[in-house]
Structure 1
Amino acid sequence: MAGKAQAEGYPSGKEGAGSGVRAQAARAVAAVLAGRSLSEALPPLLAALPARDRGLAQELAFGVLREFEPLAFLADGLVKSRPKPAEVFALLLVGLYQLLHTRVPEHAVVHATVEAARLLKAQRLGGLVNGVLRTFMREREARLARWQAADPATRHALPGWLWQRLGADWPDAREAVAEALGQHPPMTLRVNAAKGTREAYLARLAEAGLAAEPTRHAPFGVRLAQPQPIERLPGFAAGEVSVQDQAAQLCTGLVELHPGLRVLDACAAPGGKTLALLEREPGLAMLALDADATRLVRVTENLARAGLAAEVRAADAGDPASWWDGRPFDLILLDAPCSATGVIRRHPDIKRLRRETDIAALARQQDRLLDALWPLLAPGGRMLYMTCSILREENDVRIDAFLQRRADAIEQPIKAEWGHPLPHGRQTLPGEDGMDGFYYCLLARAS
């Protein structure tokens, strides 16, 4: 398990938050266990809390999902069966997480977590919550020893299927990847090179009292020493900087740009790639497409913040007949829907929401998009295929199958100091140089 945690902007030792925070965190975890994403479930629950308490509630919800497998193992060993409603089991996990990963005193953990059962309308189970937490406190070392003797997936806080997949795909790196997926991710920024240099922005951050360093591989990237609210970032509202992981920023260095180039960002939301390309070359004829109209609102907002122009359209990229005007594209970016296993440290709910059976379905969707979009590419044009997955079935295996289907597709080698070369394309792994896990492959259509 990870060490003592501290939420962004909230000191872990603060005791004043109380039972409401624990109840809301438990509701968020239970919602994820029922199949909702944390990004959907958590915001309205946080909004019901005083502003001063939201940081701890967020830490507890994210932390429980990050450490779910060990916490569930410990909880299951302390009860005959998982209590119902589901919020009470989630509350047990919230209590155990506090005892293991925060500096909140034990007596305060027990009191506030038992009180939270009342807020969850499960006061009859308050005694169970009290007993479980106190038993764990008495038997802590023995219980943790049992966890250490558990199966490797549980010890590494991963679902069993994902642990097995990592062993098959990355046998030499599996332990390091598993450890990285359990860490708090860095907050990385992309400086808008059209509005200033990275060196100048680092100086502005220093003037604002914010420690930061340049990223190793992304030429416009800046990694903050500590995550910050975007309101504290100099120039954010004026589009001088955006939040984007270093691995996601690498896409701009893999393609050649010039004014008038007709570009399709096929799965554009929330717009990081669209902005990154336009910041390098504002004269692109850019179409930002996404099937989710709600998420496209973020693309429009980000374009407006940066003062950049692109056509934004809601449509299924895999059904060009419904949106394509017949004019070929010079460059297509396909950030394909995927398992998102490379960004679990940012979205730990992925471990609960994703199933092994999803991977084959995602692979079919990736094939569908590749096949549908390829004919839209002009002869001599380029397609950059990318995912935030670390599973090869979604990455180089997909490209290998595509190259066998399309005689006019030619892989362009990616020569770089980052990541790992695969039979097709290149992969970054979580934690390496502070990056998320991303896959890239550049293809050219024969002239």
Structure 2
Amino acid sequence: MPDTPSKPTRTSTLSDTILASAQNVQAVLAGRSLSDSLAATPASLRASAQSVAFHVMRRLGIARAVKQILVRRTPPNPGFDALLLVSLALLDTALEYADDAAPDPAKWRHIPVYAVHTVVDQAVKAADSQHRMRTYKALLNGVLRGFIRERSAILAQAGENPEAVFNHPAWWIDQLRRSYPDQWQALLHSANVPGPMTLRVNQRRSSVPQILASLAEAGIPAVHVRDEAIALLTPRPVHEVPGFEQGWWSVQDLAAQQAGLLLPVQPGMRVLDACAAPGGKTAHLLERADVELLALDADQGRLERVTQNLDRLGLNSKSVSLCCADAADVPSWWDGRPFDAVLADVPCTASGVVRRHPDIRWLRRSADIAKTAALQRSIVDALWTTVKPGGHMLYATCSIFPQEGEQQAKKFATRHSDAIRLAAPGQLLPLADDQAVSHDGFFYALFAKTA
């Protein structure tokens, strides 16, 4: 008797990816981060759904504007609304690519592009696969085909809407226009280009020449940027890059790497990394010098990632302590022994890392700037009491909003007469034309406490 053939495993289709992406976009529109929602996406779809969902976040302004023009009344179904936005974003991209006579590979490298007819077919198929959306598939098909027919006129009309032009909320656009009158448009455009994958070499286990040689042998194009930073010309999963398991390097943006270089640490010092998770800057400080270090964070789950990172890099030792506590509540965690150096990488709106986390712009509200600025003020004032006379504190945020950067630093110096501001980069803006050497938006201010 012949063997009964096994049932073939179903291969995921583009319609599956579109549907999974729509579920993640729906989560963002409901106030949830993409990182959290993607964690619940099936593993087989996670990579493709992330690629599409991130792209939709970078095109959400235009997708919304087109939807408003073509759909007079959106059905009261959040799932379908998200599916419609995903479909319009993908279709607009497909049409733009089809119109590009000579596509620049660098421009399109990280953008999900599908054939125009494939997007329409698979989007409708995605709607048809869901009981609550099935009745809207004809509407979806009609909207997408209407966009194909009238795209030029629709885009011209949408072009009158700043959110559609720059794919950022109106308040965010206004904030950057006021803060950077000569650079605001460049900042908005750069935020829609994915950042490079930058490595920080762990000099306790490897070296820049060794890493470059291992990457070349693996056929992975890379360039040495500066210091311990190496940029991969094409990002890829960490486990596909030689040396990850061995702890030869960590993924860390070029601007973020400056924290470990700016804080003046020497062997034997007592160092505090406040708001430490997930531990990139903690590790960098330990790579630089043998210090007694306390890593502090208010989130126990994120603090566990610090331990994992230090273990992989071979940096966990008796001289390293981790504590879950509120940095501003000094009595709850401080033993009274002052620190020689404090890294205050405080919470912020994360406006400087939107090219890596494009959902942030749609999750934040204008009122968040004042809220985070107040939180930062309470943290740095508290941390300053733990700094030894003659010691240093580095104030850092991954923000490009002045209220969280230069304005905060100036107010701190005014409040504390024993604080001397030293040389530091100040505001780093993500504006480099060369993607390999580009970086996120960061702010740094270094203070010394008078003896």
TM-score normalised by structure 2 residue count:
0.89
How far the C-alpha of 1:116 sits from its partner, in A, is 1.4
2:34 to 31, 38, 45: 38
Structure 2 Cα separation of the partners of residues 239 and 151 of structure 1: 48
1:60 to 49, 52, 66: 52
Structure 2 Cα separation of the partners of residues 446 and 194 of structure 1: 33
Contact preservation (8 Å) 2:168, 2:362: no
Question: How large is the RMSD of aligned CA atoms in angstroms?
Answer: 1.4
Equivalent residue for 2:109? none
Equivalent residue for 1:111? 121
Equivalent residue for 2:85? 93
- Aligned: 1:28 with 2:18: no
How far the C-alpha of 1:16 sits from its partner, in A, is 6.5
Structure 1 Cα separation of the partners of residues 291 and 77 of structure 2: 54
How far the C-alpha of 1:25 sits from its partner, in A, is 0.6
2:182 to 172, 182, 192: 172
**Number of paired residues?**
415
Question: In structure 1, what residue type is equivalent to 2:139?
Answer: L
- Spell out, residue by residue over 1:411-445, the C-alpha distance to the aligned partner (whole angstroms, 9 max, x if none): 0122xxxxxxxxxx611111424100000000011
Structure 2 Cα separation of the partners of residues 441 and 323 of structure 1: 25
How far the C-alpha of 1:89 sits from its partner, in A, is 1.1
Contact preservation (8 Å) 2:406, 2:427: no
How far the C-alpha of 1:366 sits from its partner, in A, is 0.5
- Spell out, residue by residue over 1:47-90, the C-alpha distance to the aligned partner (whole angstroms, 9 max, x if none): 2xx3xx44332221111111111111111111013332211111
2:276 to 264, 268, 272: 268
2:14 to 18, 21, 30: 18
- Please state whether the residue corresponding to 1:135 is helix, strand or coil: helix
- Please state whether the residue corresponding to 2:118 is helix, strand or coil: helix
Q: 1:398-437 alignment to 2 at 5 Å? A: 398-414=408-424, 426-432=426-432, 433-437=437-441
| Cα 1:153–1:21 shift into 2, 3 Å | closer
- Spell out, residue by residue over 1:174-215, the C-alpha distance to the aligned partner (whole angstroms, 9 max, x if none): 111111100111111001112222122111100010000011
Structure 2 Cα separation of the partners of residues 262 and 77 of structure 1: 60
- Aligned: 1:83 with 2:71: no
- Spell out, residue by residue over 1:17-55, the C-alpha distance to the aligned partner (whole angstroms, 9 max, x if none): 2322111110100000000010000121142xx3xx443
Q: 1:167-206 alignment to 2 at 5 Å? A: 167-206=177-216
Contact preservation (8 Å) 1:262, 1:331: yes
Equivalent residue for 2:7? none
How far the C-alpha of 1:252 sits from its partner, in A, is 2.0
Contact preservation (8 Å) 1:26, 1:94: yes
Structure 1 Cα separation of the partners of residues 40 and 46 of structure 2: 11
Contact preservation (8 Å) 1:154, 1:160: no
Contact preservation (8 Å) 1:136, 1:143: yes
- Please state whether the residue corresponding to 2:40 is helix, strand or coil: helix
Contact preservation (8 Å) 2:263, 2:343: no
Contact preservation (8 Å) 2:263, 2:393: no
- Please state whether the residue corresponding to 1:189 is helix, strand or coil: strand
Question: In structure 2, what residue type is equivalent to 1:226?
Answer: T
Equivalent residue for 1:133? 144
Structure 2 Cα separation of the partners of residues 21 and 235 of structure 1: 31
Question: In structure 2, what residue type is equivalent to 1:139?
Answer: E
Structure 1 Cα separation of the partners of residues 386 and 36 of structure 2: 34
Structure 1 Cα separation of the partners of residues 257 and 122 of structure 2: 42
1:296 to 268, 291, 303: 303
Structure 2 Cα separation of the partners of residues 87 and 407 of structure 1: 55
- Aligned: 1:339 with 2:349: yes
Structure 2 Cα separation of the partners of residues 431 and 67 of structure 1: 20
Identify unmatched segments of 5+ residues in structure 1: 1-14, 415-424
Equivalent residue for 2:262? 254
Structure 2 Cα separation of the partners of residues 106 and 151 of structure 1: 25
Question: In structure 2, what residue type is equivalent to 1:263?
Answer: V
- Tell which structure's C-alpha radius of gyration is larger: 2
Contact preservation (8 Å) 2:252, 2:280: yes
Structure 1 Cα separation of the partners of residues 137 and 342 of structure 2: 56
- Please state whether the residue corresponding to 1:413 is helix, strand or coil: strand
Contact preservation (8 Å) 2:391, 2:448: yes
How far the C-alpha of 1:234 sits from its partner, in A, is 1.2
Identify unmatched segments of 5+ residues in structure 2: 1-10, 94-111
- Spell out, residue by residue over 1:210-269, the C-alpha distance to the aligned partner (whole angstroms, 9 max, x if none): 000011xx4000000100111111111111110000000011221222221111100000
Equivalent residue for 1:10? none
- Aligned: 1:394 with 2:404: yes
| Cα 1:29–1:382 shift into 2, 3 Å | same
Equivalent residue for 1:143? 154
Contact preservation (8 Å) 1:20, 1:119: no
- Please state whether the residue corresponding to 2:48 is helix, strand or coil: helix
Structure 2 Cα separation of the partners of residues 138 and 380 of structure 1: 69
- Spell out, residue by residue over 1:276-324, the C-alpha distance to the aligned partner (whole angstroms, 9 max, x if none): 111111x110111100111111100000001112211111001011111
Structure 1 Cα separation of the partners of residues 234 and 70 of structure 2: 36
Structure 1 Cα separation of the partners of residues 445 and 129 of structure 2: 51
Identity of aligned residues (%): 45
Moved over 3 A (4+): none
Structure 2 Cα separation of the partners of residues 410 and 18 of structure 1: 57
Structure 2 Cα separation of the partners of residues 118 and 324 of structure 1: 58
Return 169-178 or 436-445, whichever deviates more: 169-178
How far the C-alpha of 1:107 sits from its partner, in A, is 2.2
Contact preservation (8 Å) 2:64, 2:164: no
- Please state whether the residue corresponding to 1:248 is helix, strand or coil: coil
Question: In structure 1, what residue type is equivalent to 2:146?
Answer: T
Contact preservation (8 Å) 1:290, 1:313: yes
Structure 2 Cα separation of the partners of residues 175 and 91 of structure 1: 29
Structure 2 Cα separation of the partners of residues 97 and 163 of structure 1: 20
Equivalent residue for 2:448? 444
- Spell out, residue by residue over 1:104-162, the C-alpha distance to the aligned partner (whole angstroms, 9 max, x if none): 222221121112123343111111111111110111121122223x1334301111111
Contact preservation (8 Å) 2:264, 2:341: no
Structure 2 Cα separation of the partners of residues 84 and 18 of structure 1: 25
Question: In structure 2, what residue type is equivalent to 1:249?
Answer: Q
